[in-house]
Amino acid sequence: MDDVASVQIGLFEATHSARALRRFRPDPVPDELITRVLDTAVRGPSASGGQNWIFVVVKDPAVRARIGEIYRESSRVVQAEYAERAKPAHLGDRQYELMKKSSSYLFEHMADAPVLIVAALKLGAPGSRHSPLSREDEIARFWRTSGASIYPAIQNLILACRALGLGTVLTTIHTYHEGAMKAALGLPADAYTYALMPVGWPLDKFGPIKRRPLGEVAFRDRWGNSWAG
């Protein structure tokens, strides 16, 4: 392994090859690397510079096992969703089956990763009483934009892992059992979890990351006027 300080990877190489990796070697990950990953995560933005984030790094096998149970339990909701939801139009049949199969692997194997990182935010009461929106819409708006203070940091975390040769993937389904997760980690009442990320030396390879054509998702001045057109 290279010295942490000497690791060099280009930004665009990292962004374009940091694909979701879910299978890991059992080998331990040195704390020094996790520190570098966290140090990169917290360079992300947060609302009003609040930095109200909490990162819990779980290496203890007993705590990992408990989180693995919570994740497995949460996966039942997803399996019920898969059973009734249509395939996204831009995925071929084989791609969709592959996506479901690779996601499903973690349902039974989350605890196998040598490191689990849970990201949370400490938040005040939801919603602004100065909002012009209805109470219902304001609550939805509050939660919808709350992720702006944690998911950018998560992407930094993903890219730092990529730079150091570590695999990871962003997952959120444990939130179906938020109470159990908070209890497992001793999180305070005003904390809400946003991500559970297994981290380890990957069995599979990095990138390239394939995506829908930009012309389908990017527009000029108004929706419908393709950026590429």
Q: Binding residue for its own copies (CB under 8 A) from 1, 128, 190, 203?
A: 128
Rounded to whole angstroms, the Cα distance separating 184 from 199 reads 19
Q: Binding residue for its own copies (CB under 8 A) from 29, 58, 111, 181?
A: 58
* Minimum CB–partner distance for residue 175 and its own copies (Å): 5
Task: Tell me if 38 contacts its own copies by CB under 8 A.
Answer: yes
Rounded to whole angstroms, the Cα distance separating 113 from 22 reads 8
Q: Binding residue for its own copies (CB under 8 A) from 32, 81, 190, 204?
A: 81
Residue 14: count of CB within 10 angstroms of its CB: 17
Token pair of 20 as six digits: 């979701």
Comparing CB distances to its own copies, the nearer of 28 and 50 is 50
Token pair of 211 as six digits: 């995506």
| Interacting residues with its own copies between 196 and 225 (CB under 8 A) | 209, 211-212, 214, 217-224
| Interacting residues with its own copies between 130 and 149 (CB under 8 A) | 130-133, 137, 139-148
* Residue closest to 67 by CA, chosen among 116, 6, 19, 121: 116
Site string for its own copies, 87-126 (x = CB under 8 A): -x-xx-------x---x----------------------x
According to the 3-state scheme, what is the secondary structure of 35-103? HHHHHHHCCCCCHHHCCCEEEEEECCHHHHHHHHHHHHHHHHHHHHHHHHCCCCCCCCHHHHHHHHHHH
| Interacting residues with its own copies between 172 and 201 (CB under 8 A) | 172, 175-178, 185-188, 191-192, 194-195
Task: Tell me if 10 contacts its own copies by CB under 8 A.
Answer: yes
Measured in whole angstroms, how far is the alpha carbon of residue 150 from the centre of its chain? 10
Q: Binding residue for its own copies (CB under 8 A) from 2, 3, 8, 229?
A: 8
Which residues, 6+ apart, have CB-to-CB distance to 136 below 8 Å?
none
* Minimum CB–partner distance for residue 27 and its own copies (Å): 19
Task: Tell me if 28 contacts its own copies by CB under 8 A.
Answer: no
> Cβ(169)–Cβ(22) under 8 Å?
yes
Token pair of 163 as six digits: 């730079």
Q: Binding residue for its own copies (CB under 8 A) from 25, 69, 109, 155?
A: 155
